[in-house]
Amino acid sequence: MERKSRVIVSIAVAWAFMLAFAVSASSATYGPLAGLKSVKAIFDVRAASAKSAALQLKLIHDTYQDKSVRAVSKKPSFVVAFMGPSVKLISTNRQAFPAEDQKSLDEIAQTIREMAKEGIRIEVCDFAVKANGMDPASILPEIKHVPNSWISLIGYQAKGYSIVPVY
């Protein structure tokens, strides 16, 4: 019985060391995260290519879920702001897109649904929607409309959010 107790204690100590190593390795990988108390970022999405935007949105989502980011903030604060030509990629009206873009558009819509479920705020610039001749009602339902995303960017930056360009 005493031997079993020592084995259990040894296993528990080994797990504690492995966990501590994993956390410190995570901090060592991303030194700039050391000492942060929160992670707040707004992603300025202007990518016009469906394929490129699909890949970049997956990277944003992966970043939100990354263990290094989660070691700083259990729930980081991320905002994804679509402006410029990227607003065309988040419309339910896909008639202007060639057949080879349809899969990427499906991936974009799916990633947006997943991000919204996890608490990532997603915005679209209504100025860009109108400038691109689009119907605001065609924007995916998970996305919040703001009149001017530049004003949003100013506000988020003033609140300590890092601006990450996605072009």
The answer, yes or no, to whether residue 24 has pLDDT greater than 90, is: no
CATH of domain 36-166: 3.40.1260.10
Give the pLDDT confidence score for residue 3 in this predicted structure: 57
Every domain of the chain and the residues it spans: 1-35, 36-166
Give the pLDDT confidence score for residue 29 in this predicted structure: 77
The contacts of residue 83 (CB under 8 Å, 6+ apart) are: 44, 45, 46, 124, 125, 127, 128, 149, 150
The answer, yes or no, to whether residue 15 has pLDDT greater than 50, is: no
What is the Cα–Cα distance from 15 to 105, expressed in whole angstroms?
A: 43
The answer, yes or no, to whether residue 166 has pLDDT greater than 80, is: yes
Average pLDDT, the chain: 87
The contacts of residue 65 (CB under 8 Å, 6+ apart) are: 118
Range of lowest pLDDT (22-26, 63-67, 82-86, 136-140): 22-26
Which tens digit of pLDDT belongs to each residue from 58-100? 999 999 999 999 999 889 999 999 999 999 999 999 998 999 9
The answer, yes or no, to whether residue 109 has pLDDT greater than 50, is: yes
Q: What is the mean pLDDT of residues 36-46?
A: 95
Band (2; pLDDT cuts 50, 70, 90): low
Q: What is the mean pLDDT of residues 9-30?
A: 47
pTM assigned to the model: 0.81
Percent over 90 (pLDDT), the chain: 74
What is the Cα–Cα distance from 100 to 153, expressed in whole angstroms?
A: 33
DSSP the chain: -HHHHHHHHHHHHHHHHHHHHHHHHHHHHTGGGTT-S--EEEEEE----HHHHHHHHHHHHHHHH-HHHHHH-SS-EEEEEE-GGGGGGGBS--TTS-GGGHHHHHHHHHHHHHHHHTT-EEEEEHHHHHHTT--GGGB-TTSEEES-HHHHHHHHHHTTPEEEEE-
